[in-house]
Amino acid sequence: MKNCQIFFWLILGIITYLSAGCAPIYDTEYAMTAPTTSKGKDCIAQCEISKRQCFDWEKKKKAYCELKVELSCDDEEQTMTYQPKAINRRCESYYRHCYQTCGGTVTSQKVCVFGCS
């Protein structure tokens, strides 16, 4: 009887795990409205420069990490993997904050991108 219970809970766990993989996946989209003043527009131009610098810096860090891995770094250093989605989120988040600081408005909306019904 005990083996039956273990088997039941194992099957239930597998079914739960597989059904969770079918849940919809959402992403956030942003709409931006620029400020109307020339000072605000100049400020946003600086934000865009900073965003490009952020991405350039991250590309340099990625190249450095790849070189270190290629040169047989130890396991601890190899766990510091380059994660482009996290980098994009960080640079884009900074840009949105800068944009709002300049007087622009940023609105967000959750959008289903996979498994939508």
Structure confidence at residue 102 (pLDDT): 96
Q: Beta partners for 107?
A: 31
| Domain enclosing residue 103, as ranges | 36-117
Structural domain count of the chain? 1
Q: Is 27 within a domain?
A: no
Say what the pLDDT of residue 72 is.
54
Does residue 88 fall inside a structural domain? Answer: yes
Separation between Cα atoms, residue 13 and residue 27, nearest integer Å:
28
Q: Which of 42, 32, 30, 50 is nearest to 100 (CA)?
A: 32
In a domain, 16, yes or no: no
- So what's the pLDDT on residue 64? 83
- Indicate whether 84 belongs to any domain: yes
Q: Terminal CA-to-CA distance of the chain, rounded, Å?
A: 41
Tens place of pLDDT per residue across the chain (117 aa): 566 677 667 676 666 655 555 778 888 999 999 999 999 999 999 999 999 999 999 888 888 877 776 655 544 444 445 566 777 888 999 999 999 999 999 999 999 988 787
